[in-house]
Amino acid sequence: MNNDERENIALITGASAGIGLELTRKLLAENWQVAAVVRSGFPADDSNIREALRRGQLRAYQTADLADFAGLRRVLEEIKAKERRIDVLFNNAGGSFPELSYSAQGRERHYELMTVVPYIILMELTESLKNGHFKTVINTSSSAFKYTKALSIDMLERPKTFRKLLGPYATSKLALSLWTQEAAPRLLKDGIRVRSVDPGGNNTLRKGKQSGLPLVVKALMKLFFSPPTHGANRLYEGAFGEHRAETGVYLEKGSVKDLKHRDQARSVLERMNAIYEREFLAQG
């Protein structure tokens, strides 16, 4: 492995498909080192990816389910043992599920994967980020939360109803952006800047993979949505573009936007802290 001190190291979750894969390709093309947290393997027909894996420029850390704390803990320990630092963390792993389901810890699955897990990853890799060049965290959010009419910890963890895309998926992304904003001042004391970014509409449909998208959205996605390179560019700009000196902000189409339900931000962050300290650390 050639981890020269001058080379930049990015950690990307959800790096083997969709937006995460395109972001991985983009950073590799710019000679970044990429630590990739993946659930499945990379495309076998991508010669550049295969070569980057062979040379060690791309390093894969695999776990079956990031929302299972046992697997999450194993992969984080492996990363901390093998990566000397993290310059930029892209908390990108996610997905929309077709029905109400729960994580191994008993919380709604979208919320666990896309709100709780990114916080745990950030907390566990704080020292690695402090040693990094950019000390930047980008959390992949979604403008789908614009349609969220109410928000509370109870509805996040055990929702009483389920709607595809505009239900738990949207509220989980909103909660992610809220804790991003609320945690920012504390993280800045260590020089770490954190932002949440909407990657926009991307056609991330995959053959043979069940989707939690409404049928009308799937149809529109096939016809009108941009390829995942669009979302990868949005995340890249979120990290290195005009707002790179800001922290806590939510970026949509390259601009800072206000968040709904700001009154819930503190309670969301407090719940993230409680889960991290009382469950993840206590059971480690």
The predicted-structure confidence for 196-235, as pLDDT tens digits, reads as follows: 999 987 656 556 556 666 666 666 666 656 778 999 999 9
CA distances 191 to 19, 50, 128, 132, 196, Å, are: 27, 35, 12, 10, 17
The string of pLDDT tens digits covering residues 41-94 is 999 999 999 999 999 999 999 999 999 999 999 999 999 999 999 999 999 999
Please give the backbone phi and psi of residue 238, each rounded to the nearest 5 degrees, phi first: -60, -35
Closest listed residue to residue 22, CA positions, set 225, 229, 197, 198 = 229
Q: What is the mean pLDDT of residues 134-156?
A: 96
Q: Which CATH superfamily is domain 9-201+227-281 in?
A: NAD(P)-binding Rossmann-like Domain (3.40.50.720)
User: What would the two tokens of residue 197 be?
Assistant: 């970014």
Q: Is the pTM of this model over 0.95?
A: no
